[in-house]
Protein backbone atom coordinates (compact mmCIF):
# COMPACT_ATOMS: atom_id res chain seq x y z
CA UNK A 1 0.00 0.00 0.00
CA UNK A 2 1.39 3.36 -0.86
CA UNK A 3 2.03 5.72 2.01
CA UNK A 4 2.23 2.98 4.68
CA UNK A 5 5.39 1.53 6.06
CA UNK A 6 5.45 -2.22 5.92
CA UNK A 7 5.96 -4.08 9.15
CA UNK A 8 9.25 -5.80 9.70
CA UNK A 9 9.37 -9.58 9.93
CA UNK A 10 8.78 -9.77 13.70
CA UNK A 11 5.15 -8.70 13.35
CA UNK A 12 2.40 -11.18 12.52
CA UNK A 13 1.36 -11.06 8.92
CA UNK A 14 -0.99 -8.29 7.92
CA UNK A 15 0.03 -5.81 10.61
CA UNK A 16 1.78 -2.53 10.04
CA UNK A 17 4.32 -0.71 12.09
CA UNK A 18 2.64 1.59 14.57
CA UNK A 19 -0.44 -0.59 15.01
CA UNK A 20 -1.19 -2.27 18.29
CA UNK A 21 -2.45 -5.84 18.38
CA UNK A 22 -5.61 -6.52 20.38
CA UNK A 23 -5.00 -6.58 24.11
CA UNK A 24 -7.22 -8.41 26.59
CA UNK A 25 -7.88 -6.98 30.04
CA UNK A 26 -7.93 -10.46 31.57
CA UNK A 27 -5.99 -13.33 30.09
CA UNK A 28 -8.22 -16.22 29.13
CA UNK A 29 -11.50 -14.35 29.40
CA UNK A 30 -12.51 -13.74 25.82
CA UNK A 31 -16.24 -13.43 25.19
CA UNK A 32 -17.02 -13.81 28.90
CA UNK A 33 -18.47 -11.20 31.24
CA UNK A 34 -16.29 -10.52 34.24
CA UNK A 35 -16.24 -8.21 37.21
CA UNK A 36 -13.32 -6.49 38.80
CA UNK A 37 -11.63 -8.46 41.60
CA UNK A 38 -11.99 -5.35 43.75
CA UNK A 39 -15.70 -6.07 44.24
CA UNK A 40 -15.33 -9.49 45.95
CA UNK A 41 -12.33 -8.13 47.85
CA UNK A 42 -14.38 -5.25 49.24
CA UNK A 43 -17.16 -7.73 50.08
CA UNK A 44 -14.68 -9.88 51.99
CA UNK A 45 -13.38 -6.88 53.92
CA UNK A 46 -16.95 -5.81 54.78
CA UNK A 47 -17.91 -9.32 55.94
CA UNK A 48 -14.71 -9.61 57.99
CA UNK A 49 -15.40 -6.28 59.65
CA UNK A 50 -18.99 -7.29 60.43
CA UNK A 51 -17.84 -10.58 61.95
CA UNK A 52 -15.07 -8.92 64.00
CA UNK A 53 -17.43 -6.30 65.46
CA UNK A 54 -20.01 -8.99 66.17
CA UNK A 55 -17.62 -11.45 67.76
CA UNK A 56 -15.15 -9.17 69.54
CA UNK A 57 -16.87 -5.78 69.60
CA UNK A 58 -19.79 -6.90 71.69
CA UNK A 59 -22.43 -6.52 69.00
CA UNK A 60 -23.55 -10.16 69.29
CA UNK A 61 -23.80 -10.19 73.09
CA UNK A 62 -25.70 -6.89 73.05
CA UNK A 63 -28.05 -8.14 70.33
CA UNK A 64 -28.82 -11.50 71.93
CA UNK A 65 -28.42 -10.82 75.65
CA UNK A 66 -29.53 -7.19 75.87
CA UNK A 67 -27.80 -3.97 76.86
CA UNK A 68 -27.06 -5.00 80.44
CA UNK A 69 -26.07 -8.59 79.60
CA UNK A 70 -26.92 -9.70 83.14
CA UNK A 71 -27.54 -13.31 82.17
CA UNK A 72 -24.11 -14.87 82.49
CA UNK A 73 -25.21 -18.02 80.67
CA UNK A 74 -26.25 -15.92 77.68
CA UNK A 75 -22.94 -14.07 77.40
CA UNK A 76 -21.01 -17.33 77.82
CA UNK A 77 -23.12 -18.93 75.08
CA UNK A 78 -22.46 -16.03 72.73
CA UNK A 79 -18.76 -16.25 73.60
CA UNK A 80 -18.76 -19.96 72.77
CA UNK A 81 -20.50 -19.25 69.47
CA UNK A 82 -17.89 -16.59 68.69
CA UNK A 83 -15.08 -19.04 69.46
CA UNK A 84 -16.61 -21.71 67.22
CA UNK A 85 -17.21 -19.20 64.42
CA UNK A 86 -13.55 -18.19 64.58
CA UNK A 87 -12.60 -21.40 62.73
CA UNK A 88 -14.40 -20.62 59.44
CA UNK A 89 -13.44 -16.95 59.89
CA UNK A 90 -9.75 -17.88 60.08
CA UNK A 91 -10.09 -20.08 56.99
CA UNK A 92 -11.87 -17.28 55.14
CA UNK A 93 -9.17 -14.79 56.13
CA UNK A 94 -6.45 -17.18 54.96
CA UNK A 95 -8.22 -17.71 51.62
CA UNK A 96 -8.76 -14.00 51.03
CA UNK A 97 -5.22 -13.00 51.97
CA UNK A 98 -3.65 -15.98 50.24
CA UNK A 99 -5.47 -15.27 47.00
CA UNK A 100 -3.84 -11.84 46.81
CA UNK A 101 -0.42 -12.78 48.21
CA UNK A 102 0.25 -15.75 45.91
CA UNK A 103 1.44 -14.40 42.54
CA UNK A 104 0.22 -17.40 40.55
CA UNK A 105 -3.26 -17.06 42.00
CA UNK A 106 -3.33 -13.31 41.60
CA UNK A 107 -2.51 -13.60 37.88
CA UNK A 108 -5.15 -16.25 37.16
CA UNK A 109 -8.55 -14.52 37.21
CA UNK A 110 -10.57 -17.73 37.43
CA UNK A 111 -8.63 -19.00 40.42
CA UNK A 112 -8.73 -15.55 42.08
CA UNK A 113 -12.51 -15.34 41.63
CA UNK A 114 -12.97 -18.82 43.03
CA UNK A 115 -10.87 -18.26 46.11
CA UNK A 116 -12.47 -14.90 46.86
CA UNK A 117 -15.92 -16.50 46.50
CA UNK A 118 -14.97 -19.30 48.89
CA UNK A 119 -13.60 -16.72 51.32
CA UNK A 120 -16.90 -14.81 51.22
CA UNK A 121 -18.77 -18.07 51.83
CA UNK A 122 -16.51 -18.70 54.83
CA UNK A 123 -17.36 -15.28 56.28
CA UNK A 124 -21.06 -15.98 55.76
CA UNK A 125 -20.69 -19.34 57.51
CA UNK A 126 -18.91 -17.67 60.44
CA UNK A 127 -21.72 -15.12 60.73
CA UNK A 128 -24.34 -17.88 60.54
CA UNK A 129 -22.64 -19.85 63.33
CA UNK A 130 -22.47 -16.72 65.46
CA UNK A 131 -26.14 -15.93 64.79
CA UNK A 132 -27.44 -19.44 65.52
CA UNK A 133 -25.23 -19.73 68.62
CA UNK A 134 -26.44 -16.38 69.90
CA UNK A 135 -30.04 -17.28 69.19
CA UNK A 136 -29.70 -20.56 71.12
CA UNK A 137 -27.95 -18.78 74.02
CA UNK A 138 -30.85 -16.39 74.61
CA UNK A 139 -32.64 -16.89 77.93
Does the residue 60 lie in any domain?
yes
How many separate domains does the chain show? Answer: 1
pLDDT tens, N- to C-terminus, the chain (139 residues): 555 555 445 555 555 555 555 544 555 555 566 778 889 999 999 999 999 999 999 899 989 988 766 678 888 999 999 999 999 999 999 999 999 999 888 888 889 989 999 999 999 999 999 999 999 998 7
**DSSP SS3 for 126:** helix
Does the residue 21 lie in any domain?
no
Contact predicate 28/101, CB 8 Å: no
Whole-structure pTM value? 0.73
Closest CA to 118 of 30, 43, 10: 43
Q: How many CB atoms lie within 10 A of CB 120?
A: 20
Q: How many CB atoms lie within 10 A of CB 20?
A: 6
Residue 23 CA, distance from chain mean position? 27
Domain that holds residue 52: 38-137
Closest CA to 55 of 39, 30, 75: 75
Does the residue 24 lie in any domain?
no
Amino acid sequence: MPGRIAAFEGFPSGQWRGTVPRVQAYHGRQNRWSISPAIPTIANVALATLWAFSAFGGWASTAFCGENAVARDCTEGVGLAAAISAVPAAIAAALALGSWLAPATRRDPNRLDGLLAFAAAGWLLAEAILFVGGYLAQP
